[in-house]
Chains A and B, each alone.
Chain A
């Protein structure tokens, strides 16, 4: 069963290799192969999820068996937490690639675009699957470097500037992570995550481990755009082509930021109250400041980018509450509830933020304008985009029965049960702020009077519509994850991985 794990890296890498070669001869090759690869990986992931195998799968690259109990090979590990991440990554990647078929026609060098796209997804799949720290760094850099190139894909002034800023900050983050990995190898003489956790358990707490944790929080905090480290995100995410913005905001900051941080903090280090408190403070800052900054934005995609910072704050807040409860030896049920809320919000955010960026791309495709003040009255011309945008807005601001309501509700309930009333209040408050700026967005673009300077509104092509509608349906369908039968299959295994 575990022999399918390398496929998650091998097929996108093979596609990335073949596209420049075969794409020269058959121009439609890149467009068809990219969505197909992600669809295949998505089906594999769902198949594993439904097969009901409860124990994690491990695959030794190269077939090297452990010697005297010391792992030699690079391990690929698939457990509950990585499964839901893998499915989300490949789902959004499939829909974004499908969306790109029409959207990318106005750009030249389509083959390069799809090559970079495949490389980015290969990197993210690798980060999620690997059980080896240095391998994690390599895949993280593959994903990061291809995303730098994709942000600059338009090669206009703003794109290049955003990409340079993103690269300098992202490069610094990568170096801090590499330094942390080096220090960890120094302290433990191994790179396998499970092995390190055993050694750290015996060694106990010391200053060097605390320093490593701080380095990792800074590095992955930069990648995940937590608030003191967020300056690059609004520029980078708003400058990229829209399907790439959907990938970056929906998936990349979670796969190479949030996911790795919590995988390491929960499963490798021993939880301490200080680190948990740091995460919670950063989470609250991201949530509140990201939300407040989003209100004032006049650019469609910048508003969505700031909203990403705020929503990632929710995920971090839920995880932070879980960590604080666990570190103080509180009730495990409360911690489990908080972490469940965080994971649920992570999947939901990938879906609705992907949808919102695709809507932004559709509006830009139709009118060529991103400035909210210059748009208006588009509901008559783009009824479908208006409807999907409405669905996405309602889901992200937490209106029942859309998925965002349930994840935010779980986070708030967990905060109240753990007696953090201030955090619960702030989470509810930011939810209202979110509703405010999404109503502003919806009104300014779709409902106000139609401005006269827009000469014509182009039709939205089929593949773009199709992706948007599928994501809009998912916004509703994700609410089903709250039903106990489905929750036990999808979310509970992931929560158990983090708590044990």
Chain B
């Protein structure tokens, strides 16, 4: 149970980073931390105590396998996460070129 809670604490840490930081790059880091906490959580969902990797062998023994589906999901989600991070950082770099700062308080042409 404690690992699930730690995942959740990691998630909240990331969210705190996104909400409290003023630097664009730190906001991106906060989002990545949130993302990774969810990946960890999903990998944990498929874990079974004393389970082995789900590869069917010829020997015919009855082994306990861990659930492979969440692992496949996490792999896909990591690839998507890469795309989001690349996009965010590209925009952050462009913003730096235009405004000469990473401070969100100074990037305020739009009023929300």
Contact = CB atoms under 8 A, between A and B. Distances in A.
Contacts of B109: 157-158, 161
Contact of A172 (B31, B73, B76, B91): B31
Interface in A140-170: 141, 145, 148-149, 152, 155-158, 160-165, 167-168
Contacts of B88: 164, 167-168, 171
Interface string A214-232: 0000000000000000011
A138 interface: yes
Interface string B50-83: 0000000000000000000110010011001001
B94 A152 contact: yes
A163 B91 contact: yes
B45 A164 contact: no
A182 B43 CA distance: 9
A429 interface: no
Interface size class on chain A is 35 or more
A161 B95 contact: yes
Contact of A141 (B11, B38, B80): B80
B110 A171 contact: no
A134 interface: yes
B85 to A, nearest CB: 9
A234 B70 contact: no
Nearest to B108: A161
A179 interface: yes
B112 A179 contact: no
Interface in B1-46: 11, 15, 18, 24, 27, 31, 34-35, 38, 41-42, 45
Interface in A154-199: 155-158, 160-165, 167-168, 171-172, 174-175, 178-179, 182, 185-186, 191
A175 B18 contact: no
A155 B96 CA distance: 12
Contact of B98 (A148, A160, A172, A191): A160
Contacts of A110: none
A234 B98 contact: no
B38 A157 contact: no
Q: Which of A162, A182, A239 has the most CB of B within 10 A?
A: A182
Given A158-B109, A160-B98, A168 B18 contact: yes
A158 B108 CA distance: 9
Contacts of B91: 148, 152, 160, 163-164, 167
Contacts of B87: 145, 148-149, 167
Contacts of A178: 38, 42, 77
Nearest to A185: B45
Contact of B34 (A160, A175, A185, A231): A175
Contacts of A138: 76, 80
A162 B110 contact: yes
Contacts of A148: 87, 91
Interface size class on chain B is 20 to 34
B70 to A, nearest CB: 7
B94 A160 contact: yes
Given A152-B94, A171-B88, A134 B73 contact: yes
Nearest to A239: B110
A1 B45 CA distance: 38
A161 B34 contact: no
B94 A155 contact: yes
A235 B18 contact: no
A130 to B, nearest CB: 14
B112 A231 contact: yes
Contacts of A172: 15, 18, 31, 34
B84 to A, nearest CB: 6
Interface in A63-90: none
B42 A145 contact: no
A212 B83 CA distance: 26
Given A145-B83, A185-B45, A158 B34 contact: no
A481 to B, nearest CB: 36
B27 to A, nearest CB: 6
A178 B108 CA distance: 30
A157 B34 CA distance: 28
B48 interface: no
Contact of A164 (B24, B41, B42, B70): B24
Contacts of A234: 112
B26 to A, nearest CB: 12
Contacts of A171: 31, 35, 84, 88
Contact of B41 (A155, A161, A182, A191): A182
A158 B45 CA distance: 42
Contacts of A155: 94
A186 B48 CA distance: 12
Contact of A186 (B45, B95, B108): B45
Given A171-B84, A239-B110, 14 more contacts: A137-B77, A138-B80, A145-B84, A156-B98, A157-B99, A160-B95, A161-B107, A165-B112, A167-B88, A171-B35, A172-B15, A179-B11, A182-B38, A182-B45
Interface of B: 11, 15, 18, 24, 27, 31, 34-35, 38, 41-42, 45, 69-70, 73, 76-77, 80, 83-84, 87-88, 91-92, 94-95, 98-99, 107-110, 112
28 contacts: A141-B80, A145-B84, A149-B87, A152-B94, A155-B94, A156-B98, A157-B109, A160-B95, A160-B98, A162-B110, A164-B24, A164-B107, A167-B84, A168-B31, A171-B35, A172-B15, A175-B31, A175-B35, A182-B38, A182-B41, A182-B42, A182-B70, A185-B42, A185-B69, A186-B45, A191-B69, A234-B112, A239-B110
